[in-house]
């Protein structure tokens, strides 16, 4: 998000400079040395000086009452992050913040200045900075024993955030404003992606290839793979993560704000499908990430049919828009309008299966959320469950180029007297896995899905930084455009310039 120019601040600054310039110009023309008696000359000079001091005092008072911040650096180094500004500007209840900073730390001093600027954006945010080395008793009485920590208080709740990044502190403000805990339940029991693993990159290596496509989907390998990065990001945003062994639970706990199913590898039991249906009927929310090869239990298939969905046992390939050089890592740069995708840019989906949208039952609305490009084709793949290999025969190859639905969004009521539910189905889980979550806008998409499911899509979007090495990743079409520009366009331009010089000199 770009920093918007504060034209009011620019106008006040220009007006003040013009006023000072006019006063200076007229000051040069004042006849300080008049003819006449000495006391009259001295009185005139004193009056002019007093008038000058009075005008200067009025100018300083005007600037103080209209204190503005103008950052002329291209990188906006002296302006708070746009996400933090949006959080503060959106405050509707009073928030008090005290920042205990280390005076010798330049990053802490910058954070203090940024937080001071944030406090000017909304009178509901009161801010105070404290150097514990100079005021140790205040830090002790407030229970703060660490440097560079922000104590946030609102509605009788307190939260301490350590750091020098104003965006991280803005996340702390959102967490403090949340009146109740938001728990995300991650289903486990069928070799789903683990939520507590480290950030490993996993794949399938054979003697001839390295892949993340449907060949890799037949190999159960979860020790190093998982969604630990996603889970840590969610916890930084104030969400609680909990494992949910659905096979041993008679029902999904009511305090689960949303259920996340991330790439199960073996078929569910009928009771698990029934528990998810009952949970949605009671107004729950579910993020269903069904990767290649997963076979649907009849009850789960019936539930998806109720939503108007059918998962094809196939993989999508896009020869024009894909990540790197693998056509089955489908890249997406345009989205159907929805709160989930309104701030999302380039995402990609390794080994994604297509969704077929039909007619949902009455009271339910299902629509596409993400589509592939018009050059996409479909290739049938076998199920990961060896007992259901024959099921792949029901999905024939479709070499005809066309846009395919990769993700859908559903909401409504499963029963007339039930509560409104929300659900998102995606034919891929790898986009949110450790291997691909930090790259492009995959993390933005995953977090936006969670926010919408827990009904927090109206909050200002702030996310913790995910450290990744600097990379420039382009789609195949973008790579072709760069190649044509550098290999053909620039030499052709040089040749045309030479011809023009020759023609002028002949």
Global model pTM greater than 0.85: no
Query: What six digits make up the tokens of 202?
Result: 């996993």
pLDDT score for 388 = 43
Is the model's pLDDT at 377 over the cut of 90? yes
- Average confidence (pLDDT) over 160-170: 87
Contact 455, 421 (CB under 8 A): no
Is the model's pLDDT at 375 over the cut of 50? yes
Domain residues of the chain, as ranges? 7-65, 82-177, 183-453, 477-506
> Which has the higher per-residue pLDDT, 99 or 389?
99
pLDDT tens digit string along 430-488?
A: 999 988 898 888 999 999 999 999 998 877 676 666 555 555 566 666 777 787 888 88
How many angstroms separate the CA atoms of 90 and 484, rounded? 46
How many angstroms separate the CA atoms of 2 and 377, rounded? 37
Which overall architecture, per CATH, does domain 183-453 show? 3-Layer(aba) Sandwich (3.40)
Kindly report the CATH number that applies to the domain delimited by 82-177: 3.40.30.10
* Beta-strand runs (E) in 213-273: 240-245, 256-262
- Which position has the token pair 């002296």? 78
pLDDT score for 210 = 42
Is the model's pLDDT at 417 over the cut of 90? no
What's the chain's average pLDDT? Answer: 82
Lowest mean pLDDT among 2-11, 37-46, 354-363, 415-424: 2-11
Q: DSSP for 309-340?
A: EEE-SEEEEESSSBBTT-TTEEEE----S-TT
Contact 449, 287 (CB under 8 A): yes
């Amino acid at each position: 998000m770009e920093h918007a120019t504060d034209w009011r601040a620019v106008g006040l600054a220009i007006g003040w400079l013009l006023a000072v310039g006019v006063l200076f110009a007229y000051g040069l023309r004042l006849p300080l040395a008049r003819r006449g008696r000495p006391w009259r000359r001295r009185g005139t000079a004193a009056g002019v000086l007093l008038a000058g001091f009075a005008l200067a005092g009025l100018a300083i008072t005007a600037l103080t009452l209209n204190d503005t911040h103008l950052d002329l650096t291209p990188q906006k180094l002296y302006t708070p992050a746009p996400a933090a500004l949006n959080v503060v500007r959106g405050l509707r209840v009073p928030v008090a913040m005290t920042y205990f900073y280390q005076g010798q730390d330049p990053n802490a001093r910058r954070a203090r200045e940024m937080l001071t600027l944030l406090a000017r954006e909304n009178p509901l945010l009161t801010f105070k900075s404290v150097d514990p080395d100079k005021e140790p008793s205040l830090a002790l009485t407030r229970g703060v024993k660490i440097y560079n920590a922000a104590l946030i208080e609102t509605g009788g709740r307190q939260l301490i955030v350590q750091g020098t990044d104003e965006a991280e502190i803005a996340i702390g403000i959102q967490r403090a404003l949340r009146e109740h805990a938001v728990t995300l339940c991650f289903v486990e029991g069928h070799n789903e992606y683990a939520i507590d693993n480290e950030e490993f990159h996993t794949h399938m290596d054979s003697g001839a290839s390295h892949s993340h496509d449907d060949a890799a989907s037949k190999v159960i390998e979860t020790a190093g793979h998982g969604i630990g990065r996603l889970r840590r990001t969610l916890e930084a945003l104030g969400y609680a993560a909990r494992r949910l062994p659905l096979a041993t639970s008679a029902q999904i706990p009511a305090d689960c704000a949303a259920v996340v199913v991330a790439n199960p590898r073996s078929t569910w039991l009928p009771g698990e499908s029934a528990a998810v249906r009952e949970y949605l009927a009671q107004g729950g929310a579910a993020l269903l990430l069904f990767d290649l090869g997963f076979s649907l239990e009849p009850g789960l298939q019936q539930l998806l049919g109720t939503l108007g969905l059918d998962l094809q046992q196939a993989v999508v390939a896009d020869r024009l828009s894909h990540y790197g050089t693998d056509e089955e890592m489908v890249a997406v740069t345009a989205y159907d309008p929805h709160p989930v995708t309104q701030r999302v840019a380039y995402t990609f989906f390794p080994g994604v299966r297509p969704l077929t949208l039909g007619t949902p039952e009455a009271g339910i609305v299902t629509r596409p959320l993400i589509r592939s490009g018009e050059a996409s084709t479909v290739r049938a793949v076998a199920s990961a469950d060896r007992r259901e290999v024959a099921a792949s025969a029901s999905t024939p190859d479709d070499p005809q180029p066309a846009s395919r639905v990769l993700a859908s969004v559903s909401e409504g009521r499963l029963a007339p007297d039930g509560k409104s539910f929300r659900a998102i189905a995606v034919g891929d889980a790898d986009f949110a896995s450790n291997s691909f979550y930090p790259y492009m806008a995959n993390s933005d998409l995953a977090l936006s899905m969670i926010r919408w499911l827990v009904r927090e899509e109206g909050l200002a979007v702030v996310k913790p930084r995910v450290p990744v090495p600097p990379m420039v990743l382009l789609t195949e079409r973008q790579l072709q455009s760069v190649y044509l520009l550098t290999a053909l366009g620039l030499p052709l331009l040089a040749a045309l310039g030479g011809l023009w010089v020759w023609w002028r000199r002949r």
